[in-house]
Copies of this chain bind each other. A is one copy, B any other.
């Protein structure tokens, strides 16, 4: 057996997970309160640690969108505390009775939610993922091992210090939430082969990270690919809705995964309604990259390159393509998208139905903004991200999605007939 440098971290996490799995709701909630209190108490130290990360990232020439994701402020720290408050208020997802059936032989079969065990979370840039993830795992009875990007090393370490202080204050093991011993990149590989102790890996980041995790992991993966979201404006779209929804889908916040990155226009309305939508985007300060056929519509338009499709800008930039109809739109999305979130704008219910049924995304919307791709907007209260794989959970991953289940069968001495 080759030794894994994270062996001891894994072992401690597994031991902590057994305690957490049986912890009463009140104790888990007490830990969440204590974590919030510690985050506030340690805020100066946390912001100072973050400042180190931001300065180092600036020196390395990090792009503005990424810098914005990395930066913590008093307000963002308060938002993190508020986020923990939301999780505190949510019902405990463990030990829910999911199904119950009494069989003709008298066996009572209960299907009950149980924690998954230990979850490894690998994320990039945003340090607030650390407290969100820790709080969600804690409330759902899972231990977790967090690995932020090396650029957020100081921030994440300071945040996890506060989390562990909170855990100890509630008599829960500090090892329920751990981070790695250093920012060394090799530790990602070590974490992915810690299958004796880790039950699930959740990567949150770009295609490079996801691809690496999927290739190297010996542990089941719940992928959180960033969103390459599309809005398709159909021939029978209501013009006012089409303009308002597309503008919101792209421009409300451009740095979130539910932001539309590509606009698909049905060919018959491209030069009419399409022109109005492009003008609205341009007026709002969006860079609009279109195919040759649309270049004449507005002097402010830029020409799209092939690489603009299937690309996540996370910025006020949008790629535009023209498609023949809803079938063409679905084919385009299933080829270029990331199975995250895609929308159709139309008053044609048959086209909407076709779109919702055939698009392979976790979230398919009719006449609504892709920016609704968010656990809070689904009524889940909080999420660890939007899962883009097909197994276990798709779309927003909240507390319930961080549990699995066990069958518990109550008998009175039943034997199975031959």
Contact = CB atoms under 8 A, between A and B. Distances in A.
A406 B395 CA distance: 8
A404 B391 CA distance: 6
27 contacts: A101-B379, A103-B379, A109-B378, A117-B390, A195-B214, A200-B391, A220-B389, A222-B391, A240-B413, A245-B414, A248-B416, A362-B406, A363-B407, A363-B409, A365-B411, A366-B410, A367-B411, A368-B411, A368-B412, A368-B413, A369-B414, A377-B416, A378-B407, A391-B391, A391-B392, A394-B404, A394-B407
Interface stretch (A31-39, A146-154, A353-361): A353-361
A265 to B, nearest CB: 18
A305 interface: no
A382 to B, nearest CB: 16
Nearest to A216: B218
Interface string A2-37: 000000000000000000001000000000000000
A350 interface: no
Interface in A394-418: 394-395, 404-416, 418
B411 A366 contact: yes
A169 to B, nearest CB: 26
A215 interface: yes
B244 A415 contact: yes
Contacts of A86: none
A8 B412 CA distance: 53
Given A367-B411, A413-B245, A358 B22 contact: yes
Nearest to A395: B407
Most buried by B among A245, A368, A404: A368
Contacts of A222: 391
A371 interface: yes
In this complex, the member of A200, A248, A378, A408 whose beta carbon has the largest number of chain B beta carbons within 10 angstroms is A408
A194 interface: no
A245 B371 contact: no
Nearest to A214: B218
Contact of A392 (B357, B372, B392, B413): B392
A238 interface: yes
Describe A's contact surface by its main secondary structure. Answer: mixed
Contacts of A51: none
Interface string A209-224: 0000011001011100
Interface of A: 22, 101, 103, 107, 109, 116-117, 195, 199-200, 214-215, 218, 220-222, 238, 240-241, 244-245, 247-249, 252-253, 356-358, 361-369, 371-372, 374, 377-379, 389-392, 394-395, 404-416, 418
A414 B372 contact: yes
Contacts of A392: 391-392
Contacts of A406: 361-364, 394-395
B416 A371 contact: yes
Given A218-B215, A414-B372, A416-B371, A364 B248 contact: no
A269 B266 CA distance: 77
A369 B241 CA distance: 60
A409 B247 CA distance: 19
A126 to B, nearest CB: 19
A362 B407 contact: yes
Contacts of A358: 22
B367 A414 contact: yes
Contacts of A394: 404-407
Contacts of A109: 378-379
Contacts of A357: 22
A303 to B, nearest CB: 29
Nearest to A217: B218
Contact of A116 (B372, B379, B391): B391
A95 to B, nearest CB: 8
